[in-house]
Structure 1
Amino acid sequence: MDTELLKTFLEVQKTRHFGKAAENLYLTQSAVSFRVRQLEQSLGVTLFSRFRNNIQLTAAGELLLPHAQAVLTAISAAKQQLNQQYQLQSHRKVLMPAEFAVLLPPKQLSLLFAPQQCWQVHTQSGTYHNVNGSDFDLVIQLGEKPQQLAPLQARCLGYLCWWPVSVNDAVNLQAECSVQHLTLPRLTTAPLSFASTDVRLLWQWLQQNKGCGYLPAPLVQAAVEQGKLHKLSAAPYLQPVWVYHQANDVVAEHWQQTLQSCGVLQAPV
């Protein structure tokens, strides 16, 4: 889910008018309509009731609203904190999946970025499209070993552990959530009930529907230890996390050591 889709959703909700939202976003009205349809298709729900001069949120839209605001606020706060804390002589750019960025609390962020350099953090949900390796110093990618992104080189940072969890001991076979764009094992044979690239939104859905699904261990470990979530008997899923980096760049090695020592990633086997 591209964060631009969430921005468009919030602007339409604010103006209650596709034309006005398009003007505020410097887009065409058809582009705004297309983005809203993309978001609705990715979530599998209708977000707006469309009547002439009367656009209202549906129940699903009302449910999504606070989550969309929270996601954009969190990303904006992270960028602002980094820009304020790291006033550097040289600018370096890193691109990472938004679903991975939410797993990095401020303490981990401060350890990753050296104060001697100025970092610009860019986030994007889902699969990267048309990314130019020369535009970034680091590019983080989830999944199998990526294709070459010249002039950068690929290095495995470690493995992100996904735990099979449920709200109750008894799994609701009719309610399973899944992360879009990622090939994770299934826990049930029932049709998927909900899919999203936002892992925090998946957690909210899982709690409300008393369902099951794979969620990142760094996100849910505290809840499991407190008994709010239950680990299921299925095997955890280890997903490799890769970084594209410049040749002989010590930052990639620093990220690898830091993310593993903080427990965000496990060491490669």
Structure 2
Amino acid sequence: MDIQQLKTFLEVCKTRHFGHAAQNLYLTQSAVSFRIRQLETQLGTPLFNRHRNNLQLTHAGERLKVHAETIITTWQRAQQEVSSRDDQHRALTLGASANIWSAWLGEALGELHERFPDVLWRADTLTGDLMVRRLLERTLDLAVLTDPPKVDELKTVALQPLTLVMAAPAGADIERALTDAYVLVDWGTRFMIDHAKRFAHSPSPVLHTGDARLAMAFVRRHQGSAFLPTSLLDAEPDDWQRIDSYGEMHKTLYLAHHAHHPDLDSLSPVIDCLVRR
């Protein structure tokens, strides 16, 4: 088993098609099939159920997928750290959802780079469950989450809350924006619970997404509305109107890392910088 075999396996998992995987990897379809057969021979079990136009993972394939993702991530991080320009440089990996990168961590990363120019940064967009798993596997140094992970091995600290307001494009008809083109942006479990309580009788959203920038683009195009962070709205104040009758919602973010991180001395100043931001 080698890294290229695992990369090929994951690409087939993603595309569910040997031909499409071959195109994405700049290989022939026979080369992709050969690598998958090699893996299956080494593991002694089929990884895919091959039906006409329907390629599905077997139970063994599902289990391998989890391990393959971890191995590839670990290998990429090892490459990054080993190939650092000199011993004075260290690598740190930050993880967050697309929402948090857009609303808060993207700008914070720029500030971190200015504050710690000797650090080689890696920014990963991940789901909450995957961030927790990678923190436990120690293939992720820091994660910013919308809900605190309840895992003993992880240490969590609250960050400054995001301020969320209901907003619509400037000039939009407010009534229509709230009823015909409302977008529900997922800001975590607590937000969704509060939202359900406060707006139990509101119309069903036409779109439910975990990406604030996608929500903004959709709302702008369709003259709709959504709960959006003031940090994004303030960047384009003339393009949006805030619907004050809905008030504000405040979403606390949480910074998490492994309690026994192998390099807490390097991590601590970064944590302090994010906490004070």
Shared fold, TM over 0.5: yes
Question: C-alpha distance in 1, partners of 2:166/2:144?
Answer: 24
- The question of 1:170 aligning with 2:195 is answered no
- Of structures 1 and 2, the larger Rg is shown by 2
Match of 1:112 in 2: 112
1:181-192 → structure 2 map (5 Å cutoff): 182=188, 183-184=191-192, 185=195, 189-192=202-205
Match of 1:254 in 2: 273
SS of residue matched to 1:243? strand
Structure 1 stretch displaced more, 98-107 or 206-215: 98-107
Match of 1:155 in 2: 157
Q: Normalized against structure 2, the TM-score is what?
A: 0.57
Deviation at 1:123, TM superposition (A): 1.6
Cα RMSD, aligned residues only? 3.6
1:44-193 → structure 2 map (5 Å cutoff): 89-103=89-103, 108-113=108-113, 114-125=116-127, 127-128=129-130, 130-133=133-136, 134-143=138-147, 145-148=148-151, 150=153, 152-167=154-169, 168=172, 170-172=174-176, 173-180=179-186, 182=188, 183-184=191-192, 185=195, 189-193=202-206
Match of 1:206 in 2: 219
Contact 1:177 1:213 in 2 (8 A): yes
Match of 1:230 in 2: 242
Match of 1:30 in 2: 55
Question: C-alpha distance in 1, partners of 2:84/2:241?
Answer: 36
Q: Normalized against structure 1, the TM-score is what?
A: 0.59
Provide Cα deviations, 1:78-99, integer angstroms capped at 9, x if missing partner.
Answer: xxxxx99999622222222222
Contact 1:88 1:118 in 2 (8 A): no
Match of 2:5 in 1: none
SS of residue matched to 1:201? helix
Contact 2:143 2:257 in 1 (8 A): yes
Work out which of the residue numbers 179, 204, 207 in structure 2 matches 1:194: 207
Deviation at 1:233, TM superposition (A): 1.5
Matched residue count: 192
The structure where helix makes up a greater share of residues is 2
Partner letter of residue 55 of structure 2? S
Question: C-alpha distance in 2, partners of 1:90/1:84?
Answer: 7
Partner letter of residue 20 of structure 2? A
Match of 1:44 in 2: none
- CA separation of 1:130 and 1:220: change in aligned 2, threshold 3 A: same
- CA separation of 1:107 and 1:131: change in aligned 2, threshold 3 A: closer
SS of residue matched to 2:134? coil
Match of 1:245 in 2: 257
Question: C-alpha distance in 2, partners of 1:91/1:244?
Answer: 17
Report sequence identity in percent: 16
- Structure 2 unmatched ranges of 5 or more: 1-10, 26-31, 37-47, 49-53, 58-82
SS of residue matched to 2:133? coil
SS of residue matched to 1:213? strand
Contact 2:165 2:242 in 1 (8 A): no
- CA separation of 1:160 and 1:30: change in aligned 2, threshold 3 A: farther
- Structure 1 unmatched ranges of 5 or more: 1-7, 33-82, 259-269
Partner letter of residue 148 of structure 1? V
Q: 4+ residue runs of structure 1 moved beyond 4 angstroms?
A: 25-29, 83-88, 104-107
- CA separation of 1:112 and 1:226: change in aligned 2, threshold 3 A: same
Partner letter of residue 19 of structure 2? K
Partner letter of residue 20 of structure 1? G
SS of residue matched to 2:202? coil
SS of residue matched to 2:159? strand
Deviation at 1:132, TM superposition (A): 3.5
